[in-house]
Structure 1
């Protein structure tokens, strides 16, 4: 996949991939899943969405989602490499194979677990359907215990396919690359198993690890690794399980470790407070606790990723669409227009009253049309956060006074419609003010 490297306003590198296929033009606004899957065009693409979140100071959630997506792509690449070599997952990673067979996994389409089943069902906490999708009961937070999301009892298969990424093969060939942030933090754990090897929630009395010297030392190591660990894994060689552990370790240390650099909010049932393994020490195959923790590495962040997705979908994404699909200005640029508009309105009123009290002829009074039209255009541009001149040029602001081409056809149509409506309102108000100041009887003081 062709890709171009860009930088955010703060100088952070950002990877924006070009689209493989766009399909027929949409006659609606895009969904968050389409934006995250890079199937939209400016100004409602992933790059503009990241800049919008950065402007609001909430880009950590998107960083986390993209880094977990890359972690999942890395896990898919591992399973594909394993199958290319002809090795059996059941023999190479028996603990993960048993967990994926009994509890389900988001990688069952590529890890070969479904192919080992004689029928479409499994025993345990969940059941797989004829297409290999794992289903369980849904918790109160709207997430299934296996990490798949539901929406009020309905499964959105189209969105789920987009979030898993349809271009995994391209990601496998190009290697693992971090998201908008230049470094990611990773570790591992899970909240879904009652027999887990770590705390189920903060302050779990069965695992009093917080406050101990061992845990404090572990935190310092993770914090250091969050900033120093590489974000690109060499794909010239096969991916190993240690690579998966290192990837998860960076995510944990950067986003989930209490007090970490980019810590995100999660409800108590989704928090991960400890993990007994790390990429900096060898694993003991005879230690069941470590083997169970290692088996949870591929799926461990999926519930948190789905929660973050739903949070963005319900809160910030509608505001992003309002700002980019119905307007083309940033708040600072709109405020500058308001200031200039009020100044122009003062000049227009001063000119209009001067013509009246100097008893200037009505023909010369028509000059007030110019300052009134400019003033009202600027003020209404602030109100609508829309500049008709930028609409005419097919441009939209990304950061203050920096523009990008509007390539999404439906958004372009919406902006033109709103621009026409805005110009109509401006013309009506300008006509009313001009009639008032032109035809009122003059009186020389």
Structure 2
């Protein structure tokens, strides 16, 4: 699978889904996308919501996986406290055999977490029998899903006490779902990251399911997840690709988004020494254009001086130096593609801050981050990183070659013009 994906990376740009799954390489990885969206306050809320929702889905799958492992590893040493333990054991085995504990299937996970297992006639009968006996012994009027939830939680509690390893509980999943609602869905005043432009019926449907029906399965947020993904895919991701895939010069983005978190604030303080005062680094495009115009002005001044002092054409050829430097920086600034960066396969980070610690997890490959020392002279090396995506690297190389052709032609035209015109001493 990795070999196939590596081949795909040589042929096309990545998709949003691949970025969200952390399969892509810099500069089109998830952290770069998150950094890019940090300049759009409302857009990044949708990405935060997606990340939190995927974390909730993983918790739900881990819960179902824990239930499945508890059933598979139980043995005769388990203490049967009452006559209902045998019935519960048969019911849990039926759930396992019918595939309701397939934690890789999102639909099955949601069905199990809701207690919606009536599709299977066998499980429905077992649940009705267990419910009837349990009601006769406890005089309880709980619904079928509550019976199932209580039975599973009791089993996980016994498993936790035996193995000394904590298991995820339904209470934790419920709390996590409520936290997502309070963070994104309540109102602009109550939710710090309120999702704007979300239809009221979609938002209220999710709130009612979580707050009133006490649901926490992934299907509760299904409509919101699709809406968020479509917004990121249609409105945000194309802008991100056009920014980082077609250019290797980027003005430094503000880190306002990360100043609210204490941990990142401390990290920012430690990295404050890496910040460069060079305008070529903080304002890459505008800084190069300004520097290029200065060199072009110097070239024009030298050219006119040599012409009106009636110097020979051989001496006037020296204007190639300021004209060459001026054309290089001006064209690179206009196209936002540094020629040397593209040839050496490096690009600028969107911010000085290093990657988040999660980027070094198992989901991320170990990649090199060192760049040649010579680039310290071209606007600072602290914001540079290698381009690891082969298709983007090749595309930037072609754009850099095109810019080099423009620089060569422009320099040649200006140098020939100021060298060949007749001189006249004033």
Tell me the TM-score normalized by structure 2.
0.61
- Residue pairs, 1:43-54, within 5 angstroms: 43-54=27-38
1:254 aligns with one of 158, 183, 188: 183
In structure 2, the residue matched to 1:3 is none
In structure 2, the residue matched to 1:196 is none
Provide the rounded CA distance (Å) in 2 between the counterparts of 1:254 and 1:115: 31
Task: Report if aligned partners of 2:57, 2:218 keep a CA contact under 8 Å in 1.
Answer: yes
Deviations 1:228-277 (A, max 9, x none): xxxxxxx9411111111111122222222212222221233322488479
In structure 1, the residue matched to 2:145 is none
Per the TM alignment, residue 31 of structure 1 is displaced from its structure 2 partner at its CA by 0.4
1:66 aligns with one of 11, 34, 51: 51
Task: Please state whether the residue corresponding to 1:404 is helix, strand or coil.
Answer: strand
Task: Please state whether the residue corresponding to 1:396 is helix, strand or coil.
Answer: strand
Per the TM alignment, residue 50 of structure 1 is displaced from its structure 2 partner at its CA by 1.2
Deviations 1:350-384 (A, max 9, x none): 22222222222111111111111111111111221
1:24 aligns with 2:7: yes
Per the TM alignment, residue 431 of structure 1 is displaced from its structure 2 partner at its CA by 1.1
Provide the rounded CA distance (Å) in 2 between the counterparts of 1:377 and 1:269: 55
Task: Please state whether the residue corresponding to 1:300 is helix, strand or coil.
Answer: helix
1:263 aligns with 2:194: yes
- Residue pairs, 1:331-410, within 5 angstroms: 331=251, 332-399=283-350, 402-410=383-391
Per the TM alignment, residue 340 of structure 1 is displaced from its structure 2 partner at its CA by 1.1
Per the TM alignment, residue 405 of structure 1 is displaced from its structure 2 partner at its CA by 1.3
Per the TM alignment, residue 53 of structure 1 is displaced from its structure 2 partner at its CA by 1.2
Provide the rounded CA distance (Å) in 1 between the counterparts of 2:391 and 2:89: 46
In structure 2, the residue matched to 1:83 is 68
Task: Please state whether the residue corresponding to 2:218 is helix, strand or coil.
Answer: coil
- Residue pairs, 1:105-254, within 5 angstroms: 106-108=106-108, 117=119, 236-254=165-183
- Residue pairs, 1:248-327, within 5 angstroms: 248-258=177-187, 259=189, 260-265=191-196, 266-272=198-204, 275=207, 290=212, 293-295=213-215, 297-327=217-247
CA radius of gyration, larger in: 2
Gaps of 5+ in 1: 1-18, 93-99, 120-234, 279-288
Per the TM alignment, residue 299 of structure 1 is displaced from its structure 2 partner at its CA by 2.1
User: Which region of structure 1 is more displaced relative to structure 2, 369-378 or 412-421?
Assistant: 369-378
Higher relative contact order (CA 8 A, sep 6+): 2
Task: Please state whether the residue corresponding to 2:219 is helix, strand or coil.
Answer: coil
Gaps of 5+ in 2: 73-87, 93-99, 122-163, 252-282, 352-379
Per the TM alignment, residue 339 of structure 1 is displaced from its structure 2 partner at its CA by 1.6
In structure 2, the residue matched to 1:429 is 410
Task: Please state whether the residue corresponding to 2:292 is helix, strand or coil.
Answer: helix
In structure 2, the residue matched to 1:414 is 395
Task: Please state whether the residue corresponding to 1:55 is helix, strand or coil.
Answer: coil
Task: Please state whether the residue corresponding to 2:214 is helix, strand or coil.
Answer: helix
RMSD of equivalent CA atoms: 3.2
In structure 2, the residue matched to 1:165 is none
Q: Which has the higher helix share?
A: 2
Q: How many residues align?
A: 289
C-alpha spacing 1:443/1:23, structure 2 compared with 1 (3 Å): closer
In structure 2, the residue matched to 1:439 is 420
Provide the rounded CA distance (Å) in 1 between the counterparts of 2:301 and 2:341: 29
Per the TM alignment, residue 409 of structure 1 is displaced from its structure 2 partner at its CA by 0.8
User: Which region of structure 1 is more displaced relative to structure 2, 434-443 or 293-302?
Assistant: 293-302
